[in-house]
Amino acid sequence: MKEDLSGLNGLAPRLIAVDLDGTLVPQSSGVTPGVAEAVARVQDSGAIVVAATGRSLSTTGYVARAAGMHEYAIVSNGAMVVRVDPEEVLEAQTFDATHLLDELSRLIPEATIAVERPDGVFLSDRYFVDEGVSLDIREVPRESLAAEPVVRIVARSDAHLENGLGPVIEHLDMHSIAFGVTDVAWLDLGIKGVTKATGLQNLCARLGIGAHEVLAIGDAMNDVEMLQWAGTSVAMGSARAPIKALADYVTGPTPGDGVIEVLDLLYR
């Protein structure tokens, strides 16, 4: 880990992967002034900047476009490779949710359960408003959630605010993308082994780009595999110590500003 970013001068990676929430944008906020200009300078130099996020396609597209990233994105924590403008799903890693939904119903019967379809639409057994998850959330009976393959499952519970839903994953044979407690306890589950890193690897295979030609910037646990896979990794200064420790460099703590700092060093 280096807080001195001078080693980034002239590095010129072919692809820069940027996490959104907490890295490119503050939580529930817009794109920082200056980001689009920095991204444009990079892309005018022949590189590509892509979003790599836990968001769905519907909540990624407008942020990516505002930041000047009009080509590709990795969404749903790596389960989907998409085109941003126009919005199009290129690859989706799906699974049959029947068994997992049965297990969640047994373990946390009081929770709200939602699934994400490959088209980015969320189906939920209880309606909730969360524009960070999706702009299209539809209420359906729980038994209808597994009617077709899905890319992930999200569980939310007001009854677990004290201890969270983290212990639930010990009973599930799935990859736990993230879990936490904000205004509600939540759990995000996907296919074991599918991460932002695998999504990036699939995109780079399409583009003929090697891992050594990729620089990744992130701040959270769902960025770990991406930071480890990329040839060069940068953690936000606001990231937890273990994440900063595994990164090659650490930039400033302010979302957007830290990304600009890195991009300005790569391509002036």
Q: Read off the pLDDT band of 229 (50, 70, 90).
A: very high
Cα–chain-centroid distance for residue 251?
19
Q: Would you say 97 and 79 are in contact if contact means Cβ atoms under 8 Å apart?
A: no
From CA 219, how far away is CA 240, in angstroms rounded? 8
Q: What are phi and psi of 2, to 5 degrees?
A: -125, 125
Q: Are residues 59 and 43 in the same domain?
A: yes
Tokens of 177: 């993308």
Residue carrying the six token digits 């490119």: 24
The pLDDT value recorded for residue 58 is 86
**Above 90 in pLDDT, residue 167?**
no
Q: Among 175, 190, 205, where does a domain finish?
A: 190
**Above 50 in pLDDT, residue 1?**
yes
Q: Tell me the per-residue pLDDT of 77-96, one tens digit each, with 9 for 90 and over.
A: 999 999 999 999 999 999 99
Q: Would you say 104 and 125 are in contact if contact means Cβ atoms under 8 Å apart?
A: no
Q: Among 148, 164, 190, where does a domain finish?
A: 190
What integer is the mean pLDDT of 121-146? 83
Q: What are phi and psi of 138, to 5 degrees?
A: -120, 135
Q: Are residues 26 and 159 in the same domain?
A: no
Output the average pLDDT for the chain.
88
* CATH value at residue 120: 3.30.1240.10
Q: Among 190, 217, 245, where does a domain finish?
A: 190
Q: Are residues 86 and 198 in the same domain?
A: yes
Q: Are residues 208 and 262 in the same domain?
A: yes
Q: Are residues 166 and 45 in the same domain?
A: no
Q: Are residues 186 and 199 in the same domain?
A: no
Range in 108-122, 197-211, 224-238 the model is least confident about: 108-122
Range in 37-41, 61-65, 134-138, 157-161 the model is least confident about: 157-161
Q: Read off the pLDDT band of 164 (50, 70, 90).
A: low
Per the confidence metrics, is the pTM higher than 0.85? yes
Q: Read off the pLDDT band of 5 (50, 70, 90).
A: confident
* CATH value at residue 79: 3.40.50.1000
Q: Are residues 112 and 245 in the same domain?
A: no
Q: Are residues 169 and 214 in the same domain?
A: no
**Above 70 in pLDDT, residue 4?**
yes
Q: Residue 200 sits in which domain range?
A: 5-92+194-266
The pLDDT value recorded for residue 183 is 60
Tokens of 150: 């899905």
Q: Are residues 108 and 88 in the same domain?
A: no
Q: How far apart are the first and last CA of the chain?
A: 23
What integer is the mean pLDDT of 235-260? 95
Q: Are residues 164 and 111 in the same domain?
A: yes
Q: Are residues 173 and 140 in the same domain?
A: yes
**Above 90 in pLDDT, residue 28?**
no
**Above 90 in pLDDT, residue 191?**
no
**Above 90 in pLDDT, residue 67?**
yes
Q: For the chain, how many structural domains are there in total?
A: 2
What integer is the mean pLDDT of 169-190? 66
Q: Are residues 159 and 106 in the same domain?
A: yes
**Above 50 in pLDDT, residue 181?**
no
